[in-house]
Chains A and B, each alone.
Chain A
């Protein structure tokens, strides 16, 4: 729990209290991907939840030679989760020991959606991620 709190304090611009950390720890599952190139999602996976990257980076495999890199603090798979569509890209770890929290529908509704500051942060992170992907695709198109 201390680790989750310390990471949240790095990412969030508002105070992180123990109650919130405890709620998140209670309803999310912590998953550490020890190896590089481990799949968080494979193309076609059902969108039952999404990951919050607490430490390390992951890559969206947009095309065989085109990746978009997402770093710690971001939420991965949220767009598919929100739209209910299966994952359209492989998403893999970049490097070892990527530490994540997995958030499902119940946890999202009961904790994340009820906190305006937290859901605002998620939205901001998600928009940044979409811009990153868009930039990767447009630079590939120019090249």
Chain B
């Protein structure tokens, strides 16, 4: 686990401002009391690994703040970023339920605070609360759908289409700052690892999108200027 932390995250789950975003949103007072008693609040520094592919999780993390990436390492050690997650998202639940090892590593891309819930408490809540089980099922089904999209996208789309799509996904996931930039700071390498291409290709394609006045960049900051055209390039219709 990361570092113990008790300041940023409320001690009781009922006080958590992000509960409405999480699978725990419908829990009653009794279940929240139990979770609050058993959870541990943990902080992770930017870049720190939270969960490793191949390990057996013994609990789940509920993200309180910060951003994380889920990735798989190739034989050469190259990352394929599968998706990003942020507050309210639950890490490790699928492996826990399926009794499988973790399918992808998770590391913090910002300083991140999360609540660790041991599997005994997690399963107790599942057994007692059908609404919670349904929330988990919904989450799992949604993620399955997203994985299907990623597979299709990787198999059928060009790198330019993928890049455009990923910029739109980043905006949908993290939103924009007051200045209109994507509210996430990624290196060109991380963008390439999400697109599934070489860093050089990602840099070249980002420049092309800039030249076409679709996006604007300043260092790591990216602003989407024309989402409609970007959507057309990405072949995204929903």
Interface residues in chain A, defined as those with a beta carbon under 8 Å from any beta carbon in chain B: 1, 25-35, 38-41, 45-49, 51, 102, 104-107, 109
- Residues of the B chain whose Cβ atoms lie less than 8 Å from the Cβ of A46: 54, 101
Q: Distance (Å) between the CB of B111 and the closest chain A CB?
A: 13
Q: Distance (Å) between the CB of B48 and the closest chain A CB?
A: 5
A48-B101, A106-B77 are known contacts. Are A31 and B3 too (CB-CB below 8 A)?
A: no
From A38, A39, A48, B52 is in contact (CB under 8 Å) with: A48
Q: List 24 A-B contacts (CB under 8 A).
A: A1-B3, A25-B2, A25-B3, A25-B48, A26-B47, A29-B50, A29-B52, A30-B1, A31-B55, A31-B56, A38-B58, A39-B56, A39-B99, A41-B56, A45-B101, A46-B54, A47-B54, A49-B53, A49-B55, A104-B53, A104-B105, A105-B73, A105-B77, A106-B77
Does A48 contact B54, Cβ atoms closer than 8 Å?
yes
Does B58 contact A104, Cβ atoms closer than 8 Å?
no
For chain B, what secondary structure do more than half of its interface residues adopt (helix, strand, loop), or is it mixed? Answer: loop
- Residues of the B chain whose Cβ atoms lie less than 8 Å from the Cβ of A34: 58, 118-120
Near A by CB (< 8 A), chain B positions 70-108 give 73, 77, 99, 101, 105
- Residue from the set A28, A51, A106 with the largest chain B CB neighbour count within 10 Å: A106
Does B54 contact A29, Cβ atoms closer than 8 Å?
no
CB closest residue in chain B, given A45 = B101
- Residues of the B chain whose Cβ atoms lie less than 8 Å from the Cβ of A28: 49, 52
Does A29 contact B55, Cβ atoms closer than 8 Å?
yes
From B52, B73, B77, A102 is in contact (CB under 8 Å) with: B52
A104-B105, A105-B77 are known contacts. Are A26 and B52 too (CB-CB below 8 A)?
A: no
Near A by CB (< 8 A), chain B positions 168-212 give none
Complex: A131 Cα to B117 Cα, angstroms = 38
Complex: A38 Cα to B57 Cα, angstroms = 11
- Residues of the B chain whose Cβ atoms lie less than 8 Å from the Cβ of A38: 56, 58
